[in-house]
Amino acid sequence: MNQESLFYFKSIDMKLTIAIQKSGRLNKSSLELMSFCGFNLIEGNGRLKTRAENFPVEVLFLRDDDIPGYIRDGVADCGIVGENVLAEKGIENLQVEEKLGFGTCRLSLAIPRETNYAGLTYFQGKRIATSYPEILSSFLKSNNIKAEIHGIGGSVEIAPGIGLSDAICDLVSTGSTLLSNGLKEVETILKSQAVLVANQNLNGEKRDILDRLIFRVRANRQGKKNKYILLNAPNGKIAAITKIIPGIKAPTILPLATEGWSSLHSVVNADDFWDITMKLKKEGAEGILVIPIENMIV
Ligand code: PRT
Ligand code: ZN
């Protein structure tokens, strides 16, 4: 077998193993990301493991807490997990490759709603229930607070109500769990979102596959942050409208069949497009269309 065909056979066997949450809050968004990256995942029985039929990736479905350990041990090459889990488990040998913008939450300290709170010294000598003992203990240490940490696996929010603790340290997103358990958030320890994390010591071929995956993830995230905008405007307004929608380099300007009018195409920030659309209307733009962008490579 010559070198070229040897390389071909090695390459078709080589796969990047990516670990995602089996079920829970990050599962759906992680699968959506795979789909946006263009991977056709084969439906498997029991769904412990699957692969893409059109890209060299294998997907492992795991509990989120186990993902950093599996990557560190080389069972998976990379994975999608919350920064909160990484901070709790430690990220020795792991590298955060990309923030993914979903699974956003914060790890906060909360106390009974009716309690007065004058600052961190409140926690001196108190009992705090949490599923994040490592993060909490280093936070307390760095603030010179001595408190009793009760590590519990779940339903942390009920701990003060049943007399197990005076306070809790737990993840918060909307705050409704705290509210319905008579608690109030008083300190934020960590802000978190899902990240793509990888083993630092991947071989060249796996690193190459990971870079191709990251390229797709970035193009997709970039696309989501922007919108494509099309409009018609009188030629006399082109200069003013170009200032409002400068786009990546400059807007595309095409003549319309109607004399004295042009069509302008550009890209705008997804967060700003309502304000931009109002400004465009004031400048005389008509027939404004705003279209989502699937992928964007700048
Ligand atoms: O079974 P497995 O171990 O895989 O899942 P899990 O039960 O440990 O985790 P899961 O699915 O609940 O969460 C997975 C990840 O989602 C977390 O590690 C975070 O990175 C992220 N995330 C984002 C959250 C939340 N938001 C969140 N609100 N994880 C948990 N919560 C919980 C929180 O613990 C509390 O019970 O939701 C409740 C608070 O929510 P709000 O909206 O009432 O404030
Ligand atoms: Zn978990």
Average pLDDT by consecutive 10-residue portion of the chain (298 residues)?
46 86 96 94 81 96 96 97 96 93 98 97 98 98 98 96 97 98 98 98 97 97 96 97 96 97 97 96 97 94
Q: Which atom of ligand 1 is nearest to the CA of 177?
A: 43
Quick one: which atom of ligand 1 is closest to the CA of 103?
A: 23
265 lines ligand 1 (CB under 6 A): no
Mutate to test the pocket of ligand 1, among 89, 105, 106 (most ligand atoms within 8 A of CB): 105
Calpha distance 111→168 (Å, rounded): 7
Q: Would you say 189 and 110 are in contact if contact means Cβ atoms under 8 Å apart?
A: no
Is the pTM here over 0.85, yes or no? yes
Q: Measure 112 CA to ligand 1 centroid, in angstroms.
A: 21
Structure confidence at residue 43 (pLDDT): 82
pLDDT at residue number 4: 47
